[in-house]
Structure 1
């Protein structure tokens, strides 16, 4: 049970920080026992990378939807552009869904990975 810092993000996600202290179970020099305990929690004043990526894609999606709405108000002269933008919105929806699933898996601790 070796001790590490924990970095807690505003969104509720977290990641392991620096190694702080060995436990008495580990006898090899420079090694950890594999069981991580929290020495201290360090609040981070921003969202994790996954949430930032979701926010960026949501802003891009909102801009595309606004652009399509504007083109539709102007009439039938932008049909190809509308079709292309709607395809882009579908792609962004799929990416946002995948990122949301990854975030949920991470919060549940399933398949978690070090960042």
Structure 2
């Protein structure tokens, strides 16, 4: 039960910080017992890097949908539309992976 700093973003994501205090169960200098307790939480007003990546990917998908809509009106761009639809599926998969990672960290404390 050694104590560490913690950083918590506005979206709920968190990470461990620096080692702060050794518990009385560990007698060796510089070693930790393996159990982490929060010594101090530093709130950050912005969203985390994962949320920022999700936002960027969502904007990219929105632009791709707008491009597809424009290309359908123009006509004669079937291959470009199909490639963009495949790209959208891939980006949506990446977004879901990022959301799962974010959710696991939020509920794991």
TM more than 0.5: yes
Q: Which residue of 2 aligns with 1:100?
A: 99
Instruction: Tell me the secondary structure at the aligned position of residue 11 of structure 1.
Output: coil
Q: CA shift at 1:78, angstroms?
A: 1.6
Q: Give the TM-score normalised by structure 2.
A: 0.89
Please list, as runs of the form range in 1=range in 2, the aligned pairs for 1:39-58 lying within 5 A after superposition: 39-58=39-58
Q: Which residue of 2 aligns with 1:34?
A: 34
Q: Which residue of 1 aligns with 2:76?
A: 77
Gapped regions of structure 1 (runs ≥ 5): none
Q: 1:70, 1:26 → 2: CA distance?
A: 65
Q: CA shift at 1:80, angstroms?
A: 1.5
Q: 2:6, 2:13 → 1: CA distance?
A: 10
Q: Note the alpha carbon deviations across 1:36-76, whole angstroms, 9 max, x for none.
A: 111111012322222222112111111111111111122x2
| Runs of 4+ with >3 A deviation | none
Gapped regions of structure 2 (runs ≥ 5): none
Please list, as runs of the form range in 1=range in 2, the aligned pairs for 1:54-65 lying within 5 A after superposition: 54-65=54-65
Q: 1:107, 1:11 → 2: CA distance?
A: 9
Number of positions where the alignment pairs a residue of Structure 1 with one of Structure 2: 109
Is this contact kept in 1: 2:11–2:47, CA < 8 A?
yes
Q: 1:102, 1:19 → 2: CA distance?
A: 24
Q: 1:13, 1:98 → 2: CA distance?
A: 15
